[in-house]
Chain A
Amino acid sequence: MSKTFSIGGIHPKDSKFSRDKSIEEFPIPKRVVISMNQHLGMPAVPVVKKGDTVKTGQLIAEPAGFVSAPVHASVSGVVADVAPYPDFLGKKVLSVVIDTDGDEWMETIDRSPEIKHEITATPKEIFKIISDSGIVGLGGAAFPTHVKLTPLEGMKPEFLILNGAECEPYLTSDYRLMMEHAQEILIGGEMMRRVLGDVGGIIGIEENKPKAIELMKRLTANYLQWEVVPLKKRYPQGGEKQLIDAVLGRKVPSFSLPISTGAVVQNVGTAYAVYEAVQKHKPLITNVLTVSSSDPSVQKNYRFRIGTPIREFLSAAGAMDKEGHLFQAFVKVVNGGPMMGKPVSNLDGPVMKSTSGFVLFTEKETKRQEEGDCIRCSKCFQACPMRLQPYLLYQLAIAGRTEELDENRVFDCIECGCCLYSCPAHIPLLDQIRLAKNISLKNKRKK
């Protein structure tokens, strides 16, 4: 029996059209814009200045504190600018701009294709390399990985869960990575498992990826410390709290870290990055993304250099005409999956460490329907994986009743979008709840 989380959830069509498209090496762009704000926490501080020559993999920014991460050059060339540049939302963030010149890598980086199985580094060394390589959670939140691997007082890690659920429709980058680099992911996972103190290792994969489940099962067959857990197809299974519930049957309390249940969750992509960093000395400068849509000619998986303009992927994937305009059928570009991704407003914005893909939608697919009256069907309540009452939170949010919002745990909302997805009256539940939640959290911080 496959496992799954116990509360709420929905079953959107998985639309994983690009699942059988191998990862293609994306060409190096003429210019990259590398944001200093690619992780949760304090933005990194640039250590290069205009005119400097940098090699691929060279450190260009240092972390600004413990909850922060360094940034490395994804190409070799000359630093053209260190200044605020607009990201995919059009918001200006401090960035290092590099004009590409060839592709000269740091000598320390091992670029050979052989898989290095033997783990020689001690857990302490592994931890140091992870934090020096700028590795962040590649599942979407971009939380610095070394912070999650740091022991907290009174909390004993028992399990490392590798997240291969990839429950967002359309996205296939994690799946391709598991199919093409399963061994590396396991080696990276094994190293994190050792850092956590020889805890149990679990890989959670949804049932709609049977080949990945089979492959991982075969590779871990001889390792008692590893277990592959097949999961039912259900959104938001890849959410940290839902995954822990699905795999271990433990629930993360409000305002608590997942580690309070004894579980540390890392994305499979992160495990791959850890492998590259420790075994190949390669910092986090590349990642894999999916470009997908319901149009069969626009369905690709690419390995990209961080800082490449979004426009280039859309153009290469076949979503743009020769003049570089999106085909008219596509009205929306989503950065990430369709359930939680943000809409791109600046196509010239760069891709980041944790970019997982771009999904293009036609008007018919994505345009919101006219809002009707609530018929109190309670479908939003049935769909909510955090057992909140979205209809109630929505009304309280509109009325601005902050105290009652807190009583009804608005802060527990994980913004998965299940409520809005299920609402037959097309009421913008999550829009209002998201606002109310941010106000609630701000008030909490003030206190």
Chain B
Amino acid sequence: MDKLLISPAPHLHSKDSTRRIMRDVIIALMPSVLVSVYFAGLSALLVLVVSVAGCVLLEHLIVRYLMKKKTTVKDLSAVVTGILLALNLPVSSPWWMVLIGCVVAIGIAKMTFGGLGHNLFNPALVARVFLLISFPVQMTNWTVANSIFRPDKWELPKNLLGAQGQLPDASSGATPLGIIKEGLANGMTMETLSQQHDFSYWHMLFGHIDGSMGEASVLAILAGLLYLLFRKVIRPVIPLSIVITVALFSGILWLTDPSQYADPLFHLLTGGLLLGAVFMATDYTTSPMSPLGMIVFGVGIGIVTMVIRVWGAYPEGVSFAILFMNALVPLLNKIKPFPYQKEVSRG
């Protein structure tokens, strides 16, 4: 008798696997990682290495010795969380703070719920918000301590750069969003603020250091987005609905009073908006599964972000907005797709 393998159809499978998807996300994150290392050098590398190593090791230990199961780190999802956490922190973050972030992200936000696919909130964002509330000083200190790749030989045309014609050696102080929040609260207008601080959109596009690592360059994030779309890892629904909502929301405010509200481009290019829209809000597990759910999810994130930015206590609101909408995902998943039979048409 021949030995025959018996299993039901289908007998073929696509090349897709969880590991392959995670690998694609890691590749998509590389431009942002490289830009942050380019601008901040060793300190950025240190944050990245501590964060990734911490997340992977912690997941391995928890799965192996607490849950007593086969290790799951091979699916690379812990690496993705590690990179995302690092990109959400300032370059100057002390190593112990990064490690605390790993414990919150992997230990609390991910594994407590049962690991990959079971968590309600985006692990890296939970960690970021935890750190933001616990260590407000370190989390809003954007100083670059030292950089081995000092951008002295920065070759872009000088008029694209700051007032001094070169990037500052070290920058401390608030992000553009922080500046306008404080400035507007103190009765200044957008016009005087931008004269004083020289907000350069080119800066924001190519790279600037005021903000967490992943916010450094919008172009790097867009490169990652293109890769994710090209590899069909994500669909453009969520990023688009966030961006359009923010643009509309800020656009209407700006048109009513340009002296009191920043313009839409300012809102799109600053803060973690694009980082969040591309890499955090599109996390499979914590976002809705149907297209309609995705649109509601994206619009919700856009609105909550703008409400916090314009009227809230914090200058930046993307993290809170995504976490808030994460909590609604189980409800959004109850939106049923248009049933097939309702579409009977005589074409």
Chain A neighbourhood of B340, CB < 8 A? 7, 251, 254, 386-388, 409, 412
Chain B neighbourhood of A226, CB < 8 A? none
CB pair B17 A341 closer than 8 Å: no
CB pair A378 B10 closer than 8 Å: no
- Give the nearest-CB partner of B288 in chain A: A378
Chain A neighbourhood of B5, CB < 8 A? 331-332, 343, 361, 363, 366-367
With A331-B3, A344-B4, A345-B4 known as contacts, the answer to whether A372 contacts B346 (CB < 8 A) is no
* Nearest CB of B to A261, in Å: 8
CB contacts under 8 Å to A, within B306-347, are: 336-341, 343-347
Chain B neighbourhood of A169, CB < 8 A? 12
With A249-B347, A332-B5, A409-B339 known as contacts, the answer to whether A379 contacts B11 (CB < 8 A) is no
* Nearest CB of B to A243, in Å: 14
Q: Is the C-beta of A342 less than 8 angstroms from some C-beta in chain B?
A: yes
- Give the nearest-CB partner of A253 in chain B: B341
Residue-wise interface mask of A (110-121) relative to B, using a CB-CB cutoff of 8 A (1 in contact, 0 not): 000000000000
* Nearest CB of A to B285, in Å: 5
Q: Which of A376, A409, A423 contacts B289 (CB 8 A)?
A: A376
Chain B neighbourhood of A86, CB < 8 A? none
Chain B neighbourhood of A331, CB < 8 A? 3-5
CB pair B9 A340 closer than 8 Å: yes
CB pair A250 B4 closer than 8 Å: no
CB pair B117 A368 closer than 8 Å: no
CB pair A430 B10 closer than 8 Å: yes
With A333-B4, A343-B8, A344-B4 known as contacts, the answer to whether A369 contacts B13 (CB < 8 A) is yes
CB pair A326 B290 closer than 8 Å: no
Quick check: which of A63-71, A183-191, A413-421 contacts chain B, the rest being far away? A413-421
Q: Is the C-beta of A377 less than 8 angstroms from some C-beta in chain B?
A: yes
Chain A neighbourhood of B343, CB < 8 A? 251
Chain A neighbourhood of B135, CB < 8 A? none
Q: Is the C-beta of A325 less than 8 angstroms from some C-beta in chain B?
A: yes
* Nearest CB of A to B25, in Å: 11
Our count of residue pairs bridging A and B at CB distance below 8 angstroms stands at 152
Q: Is the C-beta of A215 less than 8 angstroms from some C-beta in chain B?
A: no
CB pair A342 B289 closer than 8 Å: no
* Nearest CB of B to A124, in Å: 30
Chain A neighbourhood of B3, CB < 8 A? 331
* Nearest CB of B to A86, in Å: 13
With A387-B337, A409-B339, A424-B21 known as contacts, the answer to whether A332 contacts B11 (CB < 8 A) is yes
What CA separation (Å) do A260 and B70 show in the bound complex? 53
Q: Is the C-beta of A1 less than 8 angstroms from some C-beta in chain B?
A: no
CB contacts under 8 Å to A, within B174-198, are: none
Q: Is the C-beta of B16 less than 8 angstroms from some C-beta in chain A?
A: yes
Chain B neighbourhood of A373, CB < 8 A? 114-118
Q: Is the C-beta of A374 less than 8 angstroms from some C-beta in chain B?
A: yes
CB contacts under 8 Å to B, within A337-366, are: 338-345, 347, 359, 361, 363, 365-366
CB pair A424 B118 closer than 8 Å: no
CB pair B10 A343 closer than 8 Å: no
Q: Is the C-beta of B75 less than 8 angstroms from some C-beta in chain A?
A: yes
- Give the nearest-CB partner of A11 in chain B: B14
CB pair B13 A381 closer than 8 Å: no
What CA separation (Å) do A347 and B1 show in the bound complex? 9
Q: Is the C-beta of A389 less than 8 angstroms from some C-beta in chain B?
A: yes
CB pair B2 A326 closer than 8 Å: yes
What CA separation (Å) do A10 and B8 show in the bound complex? 19
What CA separation (Å) do A430 and B10 show in the bound complex? 8
CB pair B116 A422 closer than 8 Å: no
* Nearest CB of A to B66, in Å: 17
Q: Is the C-beta of B7 less than 8 angstroms from some C-beta in chain A?
A: yes
What CA separation (Å) do A409 and B337 show in the bound complex? 11
Q: Is the C-beta of A200 less than 8 angstroms from some C-beta in chain B?
A: no
CB pair B12 A12 closer than 8 Å: yes
Q: Which of A341, A368, A377, A391 contacts B21 (CB 8 A)?
A: A377
Residue-wise interface mask of A (187-227) relative to B, using a CB-CB cutoff of 8 A (1 in contact, 0 not): 00000000000000000000000000000000000000000
Q: Which of A7, A343, A388, A389 contacts B11 (CB 8 A)?
A: A343
What CA separation (Å) do A114 and B75 show in the bound complex? 62
What CA separation (Å) do A377 and B75 show in the bound complex? 14
What CA separation (Å) do A366 and B20 show in the bound complex? 19
Chain B neighbourhood of A376, CB < 8 A? 117, 284-285, 289
- Give the nearest-CB partner of A170 in chain B: B12
The 9 A-B pairs of least Cβ separation, nearest first, read: A417-B10, A249-B347, A378-B289, A373-B117, A253-B341, A332-B5, A424-B16, A338-B11, A331-B5
> A residues within 8 Å of B by Cβ?
7, 10, 12, 169, 248-254, 261-262, 325-326, 331-334, 338-345, 347, 359, 361, 363, 365-369, 372-379, 381, 386-389, 391, 408-409, 412, 415, 417, 420-426, 430-431, 434
22 contacts between A and B (CB under 8 A): A169-B12, A261-B344, A261-B346, A326-B4, A332-B5, A338-B11, A342-B8, A343-B4, A343-B7, A361-B11, A365-B12, A367-B5, A373-B115, A379-B16, A387-B339, A389-B290, A408-B336, A415-B9, A422-B16, A423-B16, A424-B17, A424-B18
Besides A376-B117, A417-B9, A422-B16, 7 more A-B contacts (Cβ < 8 Å) are A10-B14, A251-B340, A331-B5, A338-B12, A373-B115, A373-B118, A377-B284
> B residues within 8 Å of A by Cβ?
2-14, 16-18, 20-21, 75, 77, 114-118, 284-285, 289-290, 336-341, 343-347
